[in-house]
């Protein structure tokens, strides 16, 4: 996209929910504002959905599901490809809406629509791999398994990459014959509402339904609906645990959870520091205001290189350009919401109270352009001890904690000392050191001499409290099916 292009004229007063093929207001007749985090101004009003809206959406999805499941793989794939093409035609509109609604910088956000479409097309292309098995259990008979869709799937989307997750996460359930009810984040609902407009034009009525509103009402209604047996969430550990508890009170459900992380980046003494230093900044995802579950927010440095690496990280971090997310030169925008902004402030205070050394950042940037909005400087703490709060708890903001280690035993204890285990990064020139560390780190997704990247068809998910299940791979496709065993007695 031309980086000199001006923002297109956006229709910011047309947002509706998608239920049963119609773009509708809430049954409650209530609305809620979506706030621009850069200036705290209201961008648009969005329907404040209710439990009744969720019931309508589930009923519409149930009605549409048998016909959708009866389509051939080729036909469902054709629908998803048409959807991808239609979304691509509105990519520029979606980009600008997403930047305004999330606060993420336009240069980084520019790829999100394309990434979502790419994953959607990946699943549209592997439907024929949905295979059962034949097992020679007895001679002379046939024993086989087939895979069938659950029916109606509930999907809850987070605030940090709303359009990418909403697009990409439709692929597996739809391709295998499920229909869906999607709830976008209350903080960033606008792009998903546009997705609803596109789905209305391309997909049969009821195949995809989108209900906006709060987690307490809309999210809870989806989680507790007795006819939604398959649920998936990307969110915080706290939210994931609440969903498990709430769902279990109603019925047995298959739930996958991609939750938070307090992820280590380990730099061994022999690492190429000229690459490891900028990678530590990139891995923290300051470009997303640190609002990424895969951020390597704990930097573990050997005592022999600690001062050198910390100095280099602080130098780069302090030079990051914080500014208008619509400016292609900005390297970091505002925190997504007031609640998240206050959470970041709280953790900076605790870091100081617990004895960590604030190396850079830690406050609102100076200047008139930062007087309004949820602005916060990219922040680095040094001298962080493993037991303090900023070393153990996910902040989900632009705060990097730097820790020192001496022995490998101490390193292993520190790296695995948190109750989350989503990602990890290992930096060393020694392949044996790298592979040994990759085996003892208790995380589900590891980079060796790399950070942040996601790669096609590679399973993503966490250990410990970072979640259940894997996404982004063939296994995710299978996870939206139930396996049926059939015995044919000849």
State phi, psi for 390 to the nearest 5 degrees: -70, -10
Cα separation, 76 vs 79, in Å, equals 5
Distance CA 302, CA 269 (A): 6
Q: Is 344 within 8 Å of 397 (Cβ atoms)?
A: yes
Give the active site residue among 98, 217, 258, 476.
258
What does DSSP assign to residue 141? Answer: S
Is 249 assigned a catalytic role? no
Query: In sequence order, what E strands does 338-398 have?
Result: 357-360, 379-382
| Of 260, 193, 186, the residue nearest 19 (C-alpha) | 193
Residues in the chain: 490
Of 98, 193, 199, 293, the active-site residue reads 293
How many CB atoms are closer than 10 A to CB 123? 25
CA distance 386 to 403: 7
Structure token pair of residue 437:
């560390």
Alpha-carbon gap, residue 417 to 401, rounded angstroms: 14
- 341: helix, strand or coil: helix
HEC string of 405-416 equals ECCHHHHHHHHC
Q: Report phi then psi at 408, rounded to 5.
A: -65, -35
Structure tokens given for 214: 């709060």
Examine the residue annotation and report whether 258 is marked as an active-site residue of this protein. yes
Distance between the two ends of the chain, CA-based, in angstroms? 62
Residue at token pair 């951020």:
295
> Nearest Cα to 229, choosing from 206, 252, 249?
252
Enumerate the active-site residues.
258, 293
């Amino acid at each position: 996209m031309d980086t000199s292009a001006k923002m297109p004229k956006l229709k910011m007063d047309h947002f509706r929910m998608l239920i049963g093929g119609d773009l509708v207001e809430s049954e409650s007749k209530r609305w809620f504002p979506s706030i621009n985090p850069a200036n705290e101004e209201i961008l648009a009003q969005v329907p404040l959905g209710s439990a009744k809206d969720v019931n309508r959406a589930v009923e519409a999805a149930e009605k549409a599901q048998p016909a959708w499941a009866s389509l051939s793989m080729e036909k469902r794939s054709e629908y998803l490809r048409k959807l991808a093409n239609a979304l691509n035609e509105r990519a520029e509109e979606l980009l600008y809406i997403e930047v305004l609604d999330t606060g993420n910088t336009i240069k980084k956000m520019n790829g999100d629509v394309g990434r979502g479409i790419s994953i959607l097309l990946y699943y549209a292309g592997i439907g024929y791999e949905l295979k059962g098995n034949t097992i020679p259990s007895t001679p002379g008979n046939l024993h086989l398994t087939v895979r069938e869709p659950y029916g109606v799937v509930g999907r809850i989307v987070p605030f940090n990459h709303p359009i990418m997750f909403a697009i990409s996460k439709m692929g597996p359930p739809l391709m295998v014959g499920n229909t869906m009810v999607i709830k976008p984040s209350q903080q960033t609902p606008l792009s998903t509402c546009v997705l609803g407009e596109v789905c209305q034009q391309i997909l049969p009525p009821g195949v995809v339904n989108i209900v906006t509103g709060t987690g307490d009402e809309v999210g809870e209604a989806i989680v507790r609906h007795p006819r939604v047996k398959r649920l998936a969430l990307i969110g915080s550990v706290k939210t994931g645990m609440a969903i498990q508890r709430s769902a279990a009170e109603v019925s047995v459900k298959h739930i996958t959870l991609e939750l938070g992380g307090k992820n280590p980046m380990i730099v061994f003494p022999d690492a190429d520091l000229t690459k490891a230093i900028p990678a530590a900044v990139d891995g923290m995802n300051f470009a997303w205001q640190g609002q990424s579950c895969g951020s390597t927010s704990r930097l573990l440095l050997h005592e022999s290189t600690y001062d050198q690496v910390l100095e280099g990280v602080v130098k780069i971090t302090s030079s990051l350009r914080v500014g208008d997310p619509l400016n292609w030169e900005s390297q970091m925008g505002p925190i997504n919401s007031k609640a998240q902004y206050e959470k970041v402030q709280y953790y900076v205070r605790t870091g100081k109270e617990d004895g960590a050394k604030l190396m850079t950042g830690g406050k609102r940037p100076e200047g008139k352009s930062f007087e309004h909005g949820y602005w916060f400087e990219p922040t680095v703490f040094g001298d962080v001890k493993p037991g303090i709060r900023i070393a153990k708890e996910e902040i989900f903001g632009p705060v990097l904690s730097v820790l020192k280690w001496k022995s490998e035993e101490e390193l292993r204890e520190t790296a695995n000392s948190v109750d989350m285990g989503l990602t990890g990064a290992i930096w060393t020139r020694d392949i044996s050191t790298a592979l040994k560390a990759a085996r003892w780190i208790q995380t589900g997704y590891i980079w060796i001499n790399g950070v942040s990247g996601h790669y096609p068809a590679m399973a993503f998910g966490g250990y410990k409290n970072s979640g259940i299940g894997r996404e982004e791979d063939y296994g995710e496709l299978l996870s939206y099916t139930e396996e049926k065993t059939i015995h044919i007695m000849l």
